[in-house]
Chain A
Amino acid sequence: MRALRTLSIVLIGGLIAVGFVIDLDERDFERLADPVTVAVPVSNAGTWFCPGGSDVTGRAAAGLEIVNAGDGVARAEVSAFRSDAEDVPSPVSFSLDAGTRLAVSLPDLAPGSEWVGAVVEVFDPDVVVEQTYDGTTGTDRSPCFTRTAEQFIVTDGATRELFHGERMLLLMLNPFHEDAVIDISFDADVGPDSLAAVVVPGRRLAVIDVTEEVTVAARVSARIDVVAGRIAASRVQVHNSEEVRGLTVTPATPDGAVVAVLPLVSRAAGRTDVVTVTNPSPTETAEVDLEILTDGTATLDPIELTVRPGRTVRVDLSIEARLSELDDFALIVRSLTDVPVAAMVESTVPLSSDDVVGVAAAPAQDAASLRWIAPLDGDASSISVVNPSASEIASITLVVVDEDGRRDVTTVELGPRRRTSFDAADLGGARPIVVVEASAPVVVGRYIVGFTSRQISSAVIADAPLPVVSVE
């Protein structure tokens, strides 16, 4: 009996003890993965949010260019959204053949509306929707958003209209049925300002003329906080002085990122590239490094920045002496303190230049991928490819898609933390639709030089997006 009692007590006590021991191990919780939310547009999302622009009489007449980089006929349904209170027009369907582009005039879809945006639904993963702008001071293009967000950051702008012809507007598209409410805080060289409880009606486009809110500012950054609902936002910046003229319509940066890439910056003669970095956090200071990635010809220490909460730092690359040996290069914007930041590059070629003049701007790209679509345009354009990986070599194949099908143009290998670029002239065709396929995640940007203006923009991801921070 005693032995049996001892055995039982030991067994029972032992089992409980074993239970406690095994319960010390970490559990493998199955959680629905958070969605990968990146600022760079992703073609297979299918729905494109285009904050649009003005009607044909305005400063940035908006159009759409739908590009089919796929193998078959694609169908797109365009729903135009007005800035006034008129009824929302019925959606219009378009179809386009493989390897072709289709231009759509947004003002035609919403006649009489001063500003017009759009939502484009496409049912093919290889279709890209871009916004095109045509104004009296220049032209621009950028891909539409494929996500909406609750926070946007505009890192830079200027409102010295009277003496420098600088005008800044914020376009906010609310594609949803319910109204959105936003707060905007400005950080300008003339002091801070804010707008509270701005209503963006459902299925409408709202425009904030920052020039009227923050007057005579050489530098304005804005943080848009969506209190209710979700929106897509972009910045319209007009330069029209005796020194500089240009139109940039730049997607605002949703949320910010810890690591992002500016694939196309330059110290080329006659070109002034300015990088602005905004820390949207209201409380935390961001220590930011701008890491310089070249094609391998040089290795330089990063540019170190301290960005205080809610503030913006500008870096004029043209006056950085240590970059003087470089021509085109890329920057990795890294927040060392893990505080997400937003960055943008604005590239200016003044009127005094013999080259094509104008202003171009693009936000930093926070995502890499194995496949990108880059529709090229203009007279002389180029593609910049960056391998952000610290260890992996990327084999990159450039494919041109046109009505006749796909054509591999070139394959190169790109070492870790290197960049390279390809001129459109080498890819064949005046306006090639380029598909970049890589064996490792890369970041792709475009620099387009037209007859009268310049444009920088991100290419469009056509595969699973990977945050750059995860690729590293």
Chain B
Amino acid sequence: MAATDENLSRADDVDLTSGIETSEESTPAARDATPSVTAVVVANNPGEWFSETLESIVTQDYPRLGLMVIDAAGDPGLATRVRAVAPAATIVDASDTDGFAAAANAVLETDIDPAFLLVCHDDVALAPDAVRILVTESLRSNAGIIGPKLVEWDQPAHLQHVGLVVDRFGVAGEVVEPAELDQEQYDAVTDVFAVPSACVLIRTGLFGTLGGYDDGINRRGDDVDLCWRAQLAGARVLVAPDATARHREGMVERSGLDDVRRTRARHQLRTVLITGGSLSLLVTLPAMVVLTLGEAGIALATGRLSHVADVMGAWTWNLARIKETRARRRSLKEITSVSPADIRAVQQVGSVRINAFVRGQIGRGDDRFRRELVSAIRTGTTRFALIAWAIVLLFVFFGSRAFITAGVPAVGDFAAFPDSSSELISDWWNSWNDRDLGSAGVVPSGVGLLGVLAAVLFGAVGFVRTLWILGPILIGLIGAWRMLGVTGSRRAQIGSLIAYAVVPLPWAAVASASSSGLIGYAVAPWLLTVLLRAQASAPYRVAAGPVRSLPSNIVGLGAVLGLAVIYEPAAILLLPVVAAGLVVGSLITLHPAGLGRLLIVILGGVVCLGVVALPQTLDLVVGNPSWAMLAEGRSGAASTLSLSSLLRFSVGPDDWSTLVWALAIPISGPLLIGRSWRFDLAVRLWFVALVSWGLVLVSARGWLSFGLPDPALMLAPAAAAVAGLAGVAVTSVEHDIRTSRFGWRQALLPAALVASVLAGLPTLAAVESGRWGLGRGDFTTTLPFVDPGVEGSYRVVWLGDPALLPATGRELGGGLAWLATLDGLPTISDRHIPADEGSGALIEAVVESTIAGDTSRAGRLFGGLGVRYIVVMDRLAPAPFSDADHALPAPRAVVEALDGQLDLRQLVGVNSAVRVYENTEWTSVRSAAVGGFDEGIDDLFDLAQKPLTGTAAVLSGTGESIEGSVPPGTEVLVAQTPDAGWSLEVDGQAATRRRALGWATAFVPADGGAATLSYATPLWRRLALVGQLLVLVLLASAQLRRLVGRKAA
């Protein structure tokens, strides 16, 4: 603390004559004992309040206080105004400076040398004893910088600042709550990291040593910078709340320039760059980059381009001043006596910026939202709601703890993600699907969005995958919460939330690895809400009419469905289910009003959906889509699901307890006791549930001539309706029981409560495993696939029950489905059946021929398709991670047929959950072969008699540009769906192409050499992707703006 000691000694030797006596009560004895203080007021065209500011200084009870007014704006009338109040004040012209810091520093160029400087804004009014208290406390506590308690100018009872906390990123945060009443709760002298520059008492020696404020900081952040540097120099920073000052704090209004965000961002970064230690910056700067990108991303999503420019511009602004920054770092180093680590210890942990962003930027400095929140928390129902949310979230996260800590195994529909985010983005951007035999068409855009998210999170693909699984559950819960928000009853919302959490559907979907089920769970309550709003029956209307306009509903429906469809195309089937339920329910209650509106919204919403999911829409138009795409490859064959299971949402491998039946009591409540809109709404919701249950039952009985997707998806509307009914039950209790005479209705309440608890018990019990019953491991390390880089790319054909396949398969009937993947296990990009089947029917033909016993040379046929492995799945996950009781063994005909093939070798000892056959006659997907290798083979099935020979694998890998070399004198067989977009260049020369094996492509290069096989994505597909992105950004931006607008309102 050398600097402080020096300052103290200088304080004792202060020249008393330089001050201006302002107190008539001071005596010469007192003057000798007290150090001199010069109040430095930086005036920048101050308003009428300035006189009050000056008066508050000249009326201080401190005996040796001088006044210097620095004119920062060259105001010609300022001298007159000053002289009128303080005739002895010194006026310094600093009109050539820019900003408060540079102006304040002008004091250093004068010859005054008091012990202390009291540097003030021109809009501060000090209490009469403020200076005395500050000086006394500074001497007592040996402080280098000390500030008063600042209160609101017009409302002195409201605290404004009692010092500042600062994080490692230079972001300052308040100690006090906004508009917090001053009840002396902060009136202890406290060490703080910084005090606002509005009023600061600083030892003159320290101020000189530091070189004053950083004059590169013209507005905002000068106080943090000064205090940070002071502490590095060993000075102590305190706030003495007994000293008070009123502060107007209206810079934006006075200057008319709203550059808060820009200047803060610049100056915070500048402060960190100057004051941060070299090692510390290695951590701090990357973290700041992340924060900046996050903030910019959100700003971009909300369409606030100026915000993006401000936060990003901070970096360019500082880069442009890097020399100056270095110079200041060097000069600071000379006076630094405290290690940066010690400084960090007194800084705020975490990021003040995130909090500040929410409060200061989205809220635009308006604290009303925060105040309302605080106020709301103090009300009973909101506190109850927060507790309910906390319990539900704890339940979800505790039940999913194994996923959070160890990731989600890649089984069933929970496909693996590629190793990098760029692969996800590339798969989406390039519009070639390797699944089956390959086909042109987009991967659902959800894959691309997940890739972007992973990229933003610095490649945290595993984390994003966990989000992909658990995120829909949270989204669904939020949807359930919002479903009855229009009623204004928090209790109803809580009822819906808890009911939606305890229905077994999402947990059964997780246990059966059904991603589509989870997507359905996420979208169903939102869809139901949108359609209820569209219908605009009570309570989804106000006296003036519907709560939402028709276009708003249309866009809302399109957005909800579109966002679901880009992750799970089959989710579109939820629309007719929910709509049909609402229509029937409305007719039953004799309230058909709004059905026309509903129809318009549905039609408009579908059109809007087509725009949101533009690339998929175009694929449907140009491709040859099949129903299998929506039915997730399932046929209309009967399944074992009973109505009892459906009503309990027991669609997973385990049968859920019959206790779930108890839910029937609370959800029947509104039918029995509900009146008015509560009864109508209950009937509508019941029919949504009945349509959902009925449709799945009809499908499960095999009465449909077409397939339906995963029952977990199709039951999602029923689950949402049950949640809604639980909420309506609560509102019925709130409104209808109270007005009823005493009787059986009152008994319903305890019965419903007990029943709800009982119904939730099975779900509560399911949290025990931490993974909702899903196995711990997957096939990633179980299956003995050879590295395609070693022996060439190959395909894997997966056979088994549709519920077991590692991606959506095409059903052959009889409980057997298939899919084919390139180079091993499928990834999320292979999850869906593409709109264009390509030549995939050939695989199906070979599988059928094999099962029919038409050939014992299936290997030759599969070999012509590049298939090296055939995996028959009997269980969802490998042993010991799956229960043998949950096995769905492949039909015996399949096993017998494959076992009887002469050119398939069963790889023994792999795992009891699968049978893996290796094709001994496989040919790489991309092979070099002598010219005319396929002579006489006009059809794939000719290979049974004339197997392919003399081929060698070339051009291994996946993607749209594959490089390698081609031997001279050979042709290149590319065993995938022919497409004009593919081309082969050998030594820069394009190879000619011809049809091979009756279905594939053979490229005929002029000679051997370095080769590149590449796919050119059509421009229109790229434009569609870009268009879709723009639409998504607009939608997100509009939604965020709406949210922000709602907060502001």
Task: Write the residues of chain A forming the contact surface with B, with a CB cutoff of 8 angstroms.
Answer: 1, 4-5, 7-9, 11-12, 15-16, 19-20, 22-23, 25, 27-35, 37, 45-47, 75, 77, 119, 121, 123, 147-148, 175-178, 202, 228-230
CB distance from B468 to the nearest CB of A (A): 33
Interface flags, B571-588, vs A, CB<8A=1, else 0: 000000000000000001
Contact assessment for B893 and A32 in the assembled complex, using a CB-CB cutoff below 8 Å: yes
- Selected from B642, B671, B813, B897, the residue in CB contact (under 8 A) with A9 is B671
**B816, B893, B920 pick with most chain A CB within 10 angstroms:** B893
Alpha-carbon distance between A349 and B892 when the two chains are bound, in angstroms: 44
Contact assessment for B702 and A29 in the assembled complex, using a CB-CB cutoff below 8 Å: yes
Contact assessment for B856 and A47 in the assembled complex, using a CB-CB cutoff below 8 Å: yes
Q: A16-B690, A22-B697, A123-B945 are in contact. List 4 more A-B contacts (CB 8 A).
A: A4-B590, A32-B893, A75-B945, A175-B902
Alpha-carbon distance between A37 and B900 when the two chains are bound, in angstroms: 12
Which B residues are in CB contact (< 8 Å) with A1?
675, 679
Overall SS of chain B's interface:
mixed
Interface flags, B945-958, vs A, CB<8A=1, else 0: 10000000000000
Which B residues are in CB contact (< 8 Å) with A7?
588
- Selected from B589, B671, B687, B694, the residue in CB contact (under 8 A) with A19 is B694
Contact assessment for B643 and A4 in the assembled complex, using a CB-CB cutoff below 8 Å: no
Which B residues are in CB contact (< 8 Å) with A35?
853, 892-893, 896-897
Alpha-carbon distance between A229 and B589 when the two chains are bound, in angstroms: 66
Given contacts A7-B588, A19-B643, A20-B643, A27 and B702 within 8 Å (CB-CB): yes
CB distance from B867 to the nearest CB of A (A): 16
Which A residues are in CB contact (< 8 Å) with B672?
5, 9
Interface size on B, residues (CB 8 A): 54
Contact assessment for B908 and A12 in the assembled complex, using a CB-CB cutoff below 8 Å: no
> A179's closest neighbor in chain B, by CB?
B908
Contact assessment for A30 and B702 in the assembled complex, using a CB-CB cutoff below 8 Å: yes
- Selected from A16, A32, A45, A77, the residue in CB contact (under 8 A) with B813 is A32
Alpha-carbon distance between A116 and B675 when the two chains are bound, in angstroms: 88
Which A residues are in CB contact (< 8 Å) with B896?
35, 37
Contact assessment for B671 and A22 in the assembled complex, using a CB-CB cutoff below 8 Å: no
Is B635's beta carbon under 8 Å from chain A? yes
Contact assessment for A177 and B920 in the assembled complex, using a CB-CB cutoff below 8 Å: yes
Contact assessment for B900 and A228 in the assembled complex, using a CB-CB cutoff below 8 Å: no
Within 8 A of A (CB), among B884-918: 891-894, 896-897, 899-900, 902-908
**A19, A28, A119, A228 pick with most chain B CB within 10 angstroms:** A19
Closest 5 CB pairs of A and B: A32-B814, A32-B891, A47-B856, A177-B905, A30-B637
- Selected from A4, A20, A22, the residue in CB contact (under 8 A) with B589 is A4
Given contacts A4-B590, A23-B642, A29-B637, A148 and B900 within 8 Å (CB-CB): yes
Alpha-carbon distance between A67 and B229 when the two chains are bound, in angstroms: 103
CB distance from A174 to the nearest CB of B (A): 11
Alpha-carbon distance between A148 and B856 when the two chains are bound, in angstroms: 11
Alpha-carbon distance between A33 and B814 when the two chains are bound, in angstroms: 8
Which B residues are in CB contact (< 8 Å) with A11?
588
Overall SS of chain A's interface:
loop
Contact assessment for B856 and A46 in the assembled complex, using a CB-CB cutoff below 8 Å: yes
Which A residues are in CB contact (< 8 Å) with B640?
27, 29
Which B residues are in CB contact (< 8 Å) with A147?
900
Contact assessment for B701 and A22 in the assembled complex, using a CB-CB cutoff below 8 Å: yes
**A8, A15, A75 pick with most chain B CB within 10 angstroms:** A8
Is B857's beta carbon under 8 Å from chain A? yes
Which B residues are in CB contact (< 8 Å) with A9?
671-672
CB distance from A394 to the nearest CB of B (A): 26
Which B residues are in CB contact (< 8 Å) with A19?
643, 693-694, 697
Which A residues are in CB contact (< 8 Å) with B637?
29-30
Is B459's beta carbon under 8 Å from chain A? no
Contact assessment for A34 and B892 in the assembled complex, using a CB-CB cutoff below 8 Å: yes
Contact assessment for B908 and A178 in the assembled complex, using a CB-CB cutoff below 8 Å: yes
Within 8 A of A (CB), among B606-644: 635, 637-638, 640, 642-644
Is B604's beta carbon under 8 Å from chain A? no
Alpha-carbon distance between A33 and B635 when the two chains are bound, in angstroms: 16
> B899's closest neighbor in chain A, by CB?
A230
Contact assessment for A31 and B588 in the assembled complex, using a CB-CB cutoff below 8 Å: no
10 contacts between A and B (CB under 8 A): A1-B679, A7-B588, A9-B671, A12-B671, A12-B683, A16-B690, A19-B643, A30-B815, A45-B853, A46-B856
Alpha-carbon distance between A148 and B907 when the two chains are bound, in angstroms: 18
Given contacts A28-B702, A32-B813, A32-B815, A8 and B694 within 8 Å (CB-CB): no
> B851's closest neighbor in chain A, by CB?
A32
Task: Write the residues of chain B forming the contact surface with A, with a CB cutoff of 8 angstroms.
Answer: 588-590, 635, 637-638, 640, 642-644, 647, 671-672, 675, 679, 683, 686-687, 690, 693-694, 697, 700-702, 812-816, 851, 853-857, 891-894, 896-897, 899-900, 902-908, 920, 944-945
Alpha-carbon distance between A148 and B900 when the two chains are bound, in angstroms: 7
CB distance from B584 to the nearest CB of A (A): 9
Which A residues are in CB contact (< 8 Å) with B589?
4, 8
CB distance from B939 to the nearest CB of A (A): 13
Given contacts A32-B891, A148-B900, A228 and B908 within 8 Å (CB-CB): yes
Contact assessment for B697 and A23 in the assembled complex, using a CB-CB cutoff below 8 Å: yes
Alpha-carbon distance between A148 and B896 when the two chains are bound, in angstroms: 10
Contact assessment for A31 and B814 in the assembled complex, using a CB-CB cutoff below 8 Å: yes
Given contacts A31-B814, A32-B851, A47-B856, A8 and B899 within 8 Å (CB-CB): no
Which B residues are in CB contact (< 8 Å) with A34?
891-893
Which B residues are in CB contact (< 8 Å) with A37?
896
- Selected from A16, A23, A33, A176, the residue in CB contact (under 8 A) with B905 is A176
- Selected from A8, A20, A33, the residue in CB contact (under 8 A) with B683 is A8
CB distance from A201 to the nearest CB of B (A): 13
Given contacts A12-B686, A15-B694, A19-B693, A27 and B899 within 8 Å (CB-CB): no
CB distance from B351 to the nearest CB of A (A): 53
Contact assessment for A30 and B945 in the assembled complex, using a CB-CB cutoff below 8 Å: no
Alpha-carbon distance between A230 and B643 when the two chains are bound, in angstroms: 43
Which A residues are in CB contact (< 8 Å) with B588?
7-8, 11
Contact assessment for A178 and B906 in the assembled complex, using a CB-CB cutoff below 8 Å: yes
> A9's closest neighbor in chain B, by CB?
B671
Which B residues are in CB contact (< 8 Å) with A8?
588-589, 671, 679, 683, 686
> B674's closest neighbor in chain A, by CB?
A5
Which A residues are in CB contact (< 8 Å) with B945?
75, 77, 123
Which B residues are in CB contact (< 8 Å) with A32?
812-816, 851, 891, 893-894
CB distance from B737 to the nearest CB of A (A): 15
**A12, A15, A33, A147 pick with most chain B CB within 10 angstroms:** A12
Alpha-carbon distance between A75 and B946 when the two chains are bound, in angstroms: 12
Alpha-carbon distance between A28 and B896 when the two chains are bound, in angstroms: 24
Which A residues are in CB contact (< 8 Å) with B920?
177
Given contacts A27-B702, A32-B894, A121 and B683 within 8 Å (CB-CB): no
Given contacts A5-B671, A15-B694, A19-B643, A121 and B857 within 8 Å (CB-CB): yes
Contact assessment for B701 and A23 in the assembled complex, using a CB-CB cutoff below 8 Å: yes
Which A residues are in CB contact (< 8 Å) with B893?
32-35
CB distance from B616 to the nearest CB of A (A): 30
Alpha-carbon distance between A11 and B686 when the two chains are bound, in angstroms: 10
CB distance from A18 to the nearest CB of B (A): 9
Which B residues are in CB contact (< 8 Å) with A175?
902
Contact assessment for B638 and A27 in the assembled complex, using a CB-CB cutoff below 8 Å: yes
Alpha-carbon distance between A47 and B901 when the two chains are bound, in angstroms: 10
Contact assessment for B643 and A119 in the assembled complex, using a CB-CB cutoff below 8 Å: no
Contact assessment for B902 and A178 in the assembled complex, using a CB-CB cutoff below 8 Å: no
Which A residues are in CB contact (< 8 Å) with B815?
30-32
Alpha-carbon distance between A10 and B851 when the two chains are bound, in angstroms: 50
Alpha-carbon distance between A177 and B897 when the two chains are bound, in angstroms: 15
CB distance from A417 to the nearest CB of B (A): 30
Which B residues are in CB contact (< 8 Å) with A119?
902
Which B residues are in CB contact (< 8 Å) with A33?
814, 893
Alpha-carbon distance between A177 and B944 when the two chains are bound, in angstroms: 17
Alpha-carbon distance between A12 and B691 when the two chains are bound, in angstroms: 11
CB distance from B732 to the nearest CB of A (A): 12
Which A residues are in CB contact (< 8 Å) with B693?
19
Alpha-carbon distance between A11 and B581 when the two chains are bound, in angstroms: 13
